[in-house]
Amino acid sequence: MKKSEPTIVEKAIQTVDGFEKVFNTIKQQTILRGQSKSTLNNYIRRIALISLHFNKLPEHISEDDINEYLTSLAQSAKSPSRSSFKHAVYGLRYYFRHLGLNKRAIDLPSIKDDSKLPVILNRNELRQLFIAPTLLKHRIVLTLIYSAGLRSQEVVNLKLADIDFERKTIHIRQSKYKKDRIVPLSNYMAKGLKQYIAVEHPHIWLFNGKEPDGRYSVKGLSWVMRESLKKTSITKEVSLHSLRHSYATHLLEDGVNIITIKELLGHAEIATTMVYLHVAQCPVTPAHSPLDSLYADVKCNVKKTK
């Protein structure tokens, strides 16, 4: 059997003196602070790449060399490199602060928000997308993400026991910010899930896959989305997370108040949810006196005076 190639982090542990201690310490800190596994992976991978590039730990790299490295990432025209730049800065900032090198953390380049509005799929596009996959499992997983506004990691973490068909709820456990939440299970979704379970017979996890613990992978979900989009007429630049954006926007357009949507999405701050106010197409109510609507539904029997 062919041995798999070592990961970036494994290469850094093998070749950069002291990196293994760095990895273990940062891993411990992210766990103690209740931060997500993806946060750890983003930070440590960028630190590993920088350490491999210079063959030394970041604290031993000059400020000029680090700035030159970051500049090469920032100037790239490709958006993934822009993301790499942001993760590199965040990772280094986290790393330097952990070492008590606050000045080096502060001196790193600031990152400006792109201020881009989320791309939303309309209802016709969603219907196209949900019938595009050949496999029932793929159709169900895409529909479920939209129907409940789930994050990718939340989908793969779902267990069969988290779906309550009688109460029509989905229990999302220990998601971002280490919070649980309950979201409604659509009647249509419930029928689809029952059909899927009867055909696929998933065990423990709602969506079984090739991960070591038996669950489906986030990479697998992204692949399903990309392949499904190819079979539609959708030309928008969207990703799996666009289904969550569409969920929030459509709820807002359906009249659900933004505080409720914040809770359904599991946002920590209302400001995060308010971005959907800029993309939702809600009917505009003209300015008026509330007195005009106070008696609108009241049938008054007015006696005629002589």
Report residue 87 as tokens.
């993760």
Closest CA to 246 of 127, 139, 154: 127
The neighbouring-strand residues paired with 33 are: none
Closest CA to 137 of 227, 65, 43: 227
Report residue 41 as tokens.
């992976």
Q: With contact defined as beta carbons under 8 Å apart, do 141 and 129 qualify?
A: no
Q: Per this entry, what is the length of the chain?
A: 306
Region of residue 198 (phi > 0: left; psi between -120 and 50: alpha; otherwise: beta)? alpha
Report residue 223 as tokens.
């692949």
> CA–CA distance from 62 to each of 65, 67, 86, 105, 111 (Å)?
5, 9, 19, 13, 20
Report residue 231 as tokens.
């079979």
Closest CA to 223 of 135, 103, 92, 109: 135
SS3 135: coil
Active site residues: 151, 176, 241, 244, 267, 276
31 half-sphere exposure, CB direction, 13 A CA radius = 6
> CA–CA distance from 250 to each of 235, 270, 286 (Å)?
20, 17, 22
Rounded Cα distance between 173 and 164, Å, is 14
